[in-house]
Amino acid sequence: MNAIPHDPMVPVPFRIEKVRRDLSDTFTMEMVPEAGGDFTFRPGQFNMLYVFGVGEVPISISGDPADRSVLVHTTRAVGTVTEALDALKPGDVLGVRGPFGTAWPVEATFGHDLVFVAGGVGLAPLRPAIYQAMAHRERFGRVIVLYGARTPEDILYKKELERWRGRFDLDVLVTVDRATGKWGGNVGVVTNLVTRGGFDPLNTASFVCGPEVMMRYAAAALEKKGVSRDKIWVSVERNMKCGCGLCGHCQWGPHFTCKDGPVFRYDTIADLFQIREL
């Protein structure tokens, strides 16, 4: 069962089972449909989450696509609706519309070295793809996660990153923009980690997610290393009111970000990144 009724503008009630605080302003919710059943999605897709009487906001799904029993969302509280989501507790009900949008092409990139480049809360929309890649680990060459956070206190999914790093078949490199002397890891932008390499650029596919500026520079760094434009994917955000191609708000050039994206192959949209106020 997917949460899309006949009318895609009507939400389906989901009940929150668990809430975990990840960072001072970021939290993860696990929820299940009130009416029961599974929720299926592809990594990179998003839902429109509705808080009763407050409003709706598009949030990427951040759980494991192989686990259909629960729907997971990691959200950062930055505005009215996300702050209202932050106030919800286990047992509360919210509305879900989705899943919407395009997916990270995990299966289509079998056979490559896979490099995930994440910035800040951008690690959340990538996590489902990381899970899916690890479930098919033998189909890839090297798998590398490059993650940039603001400070050591802002590292998202820290324990999970440590667990991933503990696997012998996954490279995890973390850097922060700022740190005090107590931090023993890398300091600097995540593009520096791209420049360091550790992957075969001629046979690499890369999924990049984070603030738009970071994605532009990360894609440029990947290209500089020799990764081909048509093997880089980014996830773009725009204003969304419906999430399903009807309201017109999310348009970016000829694309509806909600249905031609949010995941775009870089070569198809690289020129759009250059146009100011598109």
Q: How far is the CB of 242 from another protein (least distance, A)?
A: 7
53 binds another protein (CB under 8 A): yes
258 is in an annotated binding site: yes
Tokens linked to 158: 């820290």
36 binds another protein (CB under 8 A): no
Q: Which residues 176-205 are close enough to bind another protein by CB under 8 A?
A: 177-189, 191-192, 195-196
Stretch that binds another protein, among 37-45, 64-72, 213-221, 261-269 (CB under 8 A): 213-221
250 is in an annotated binding site: yes
The Cα–Cα gap between 68 and 9 comes to: 23
Q: Given candidates 18, 136, 213, 230, which one binds another protein under the rule CB under 8 A?
A: 213
1 binds another protein (CB under 8 A): no
44 binds another protein (CB under 8 A): no
Q: Given candidates 244, 261, 264, 273, which one binds another protein under the rule CB under 8 A?
A: 244
Q: Which residues 142-181 are close enough to bind another protein by CB under 8 A?
A: 148-150, 154, 175, 177-181
4 binds another protein (CB under 8 A): yes
State CA 63 to chain mean position distance. 10
7 binds another protein (CB under 8 A): yes
**Cα separation values, 219 from 107, 206, 240, Å:** 21, 9, 25
CB-wise, 153 or 162, nearer to another protein? Answer: 153
> Which residues are 32's β-sheet partners?
15
Tokens linked to 162: 């440590």
The Cα–Cα gap between 188 and 179 comes to: 9
CB-wise, 91 or 166, nearer to another protein? Answer: 91
CB-wise, 11 or 65, nearer to another protein? Answer: 11
DSSP string, 42-93: -TT-EEEEEETTTEEEEEEB-S-TT-TT-EEEEEE--SHHHHHHHT--TT-E
217 binds another protein (CB under 8 A): yes
Between CA 175 and CA 182, with CA 179 as vertex, the angle to 5 degrees is: 105
Tokens linked to 45: 């897709």
State the number of binding residues for another protein (CB under 8 A).
76
211 binds another protein (CB under 8 A): yes
The Cα–Cα gap between 23 and 141 comes to: 33
- Please report, in range form, the residues annotated as the binding site: 242, 247, 250, 258
